[in-house]
Amino acid sequence: MGFTRDFFIMLSQNKVLNSGAKRWGLKLGAQTVVAGTTIPEMVKSVHQLNQKGISVTIDNLGEFVFEKQEAIDAKIQILEVIEAIHEYNLDAHISLKPTQLGLDIGYDFCLNNLREIVAKANGYNIFINFDMEDYSHLQPSFNLLDELSKDYSNIGTVIQAYFYQAEADIEKYKDYRLRIVKGAYKEPVNLAFQDKKEIDQNYIKLIEYHLLNGKFTSIATHDHHVINHVKKFVEEHKIPKDKFEFQMLYGFRKELQLELAGEGYNFCTYVPFGIDWYGYFMRRLAERPQNLNLVAKQVFNKKTNTLIGIGTTAFLLGRISKKNINK
């Protein structure tokens, strides 16, 4: 796990490669994992999922913003997404990253941007999920959640199982709607589990705790072993289906998504859209390298014999060979 995970995380953080991916991503097959680059394209994708009995959470891609205008533009875009959800009566809510709204620029600046978003969503009874990022943004993101919770109840967040403090965090926020994930950033050994087995064990532990004690649990995984474990657990403990949902990423394990929805489970697809897809996708591969195989099966181009994994890797290595990206 170690080398592969570190490799994809390194790629996700490279600005040169990110810039190149924005220009060439769709040609490399990114359309299979990103639901368009515009709001109309995203709405079409969401509507198609809704027709199949699947709800969605929409992510306007972008993060680690350091310019005020960029953060304001992101806020405006998310407000337009909220309006589109309402206008088209979509079964959808919003996932957002505080850094996209200016957390690295200023806490109060970010708080004001988030307040405007949460207030508008609240007026339409739309849920807003605060995606968690790397450890340096963990507590500030919790602080934003705490502050906005004083006035609004349509918000929740993410608990990352690889953090040692995750157990304490999930207990503190048990009265919130929470998405539970394994974690997809590179964190040091003094903060987070490094071993896959330990992360998996803590992940199951957190899921079970929140299913028994929490408000609503979003179980974000493509791992059918985890899914089968949860199915048995909720049956044994008589946990009603309206207390939880399974979540997967757009473009991954489509058949299993439909299967779970068809079995009567609440199912939510994480739908990213926009041109800033690269860092998001690389972290999905870092989190679970098997995801590359899941996508590869769905992006094979018979005419060009191109796989997203092969094409992306070749592109990345080509750029690396031309530029000293470590400067």
Burial class (CB in 10 A: 0-12, 13-18, 19+), 151: exposed
Q: Which of 131, 134, 169, 200 is catalytic?
A: 131
C-alpha 291/C-alpha 284 separation (Å) is 7
Question: Both tokens of residue 298?
Answer: 């769905």
131 is an active site residue = yes
Q: Phi and psi (nearest 5°) for 95?
A: -115, 135
| Segments in 98-181 forming alpha helices (H) | 107-123, 138-148, 166-172
Contact 60, 81 (CB under 8 A): yes
Q: Which residues are bridge partners to 55 per DSSP?
A: 268
For 197-241, the DSSP string reads HHHHHHHHHHHHHHHHHSSEEEEE---HHHHHHHHHHHHHTT--G
Q: Which of 5, 177, 179, 253 is catalytic?
A: 179
C-alpha 197/C-alpha 317 separation (Å) is 31
Specify the DSSP element, H or E, that contains 66: none
The candidate with the shortest Cα–Cα distance to 179, out of 141, 214, 227, is: 214
Question: Both tokens of residue 76?
Answer: 């405006």
Q: Which residues are bridge partners to 163 per DSSP?
A: 192
C-alpha 202/C-alpha 191 separation (Å) is 14
Q: How far, in whole angstroms, is CA 9 from its chain's centroid?
A: 15
Give me the active site residues, please: 131, 179
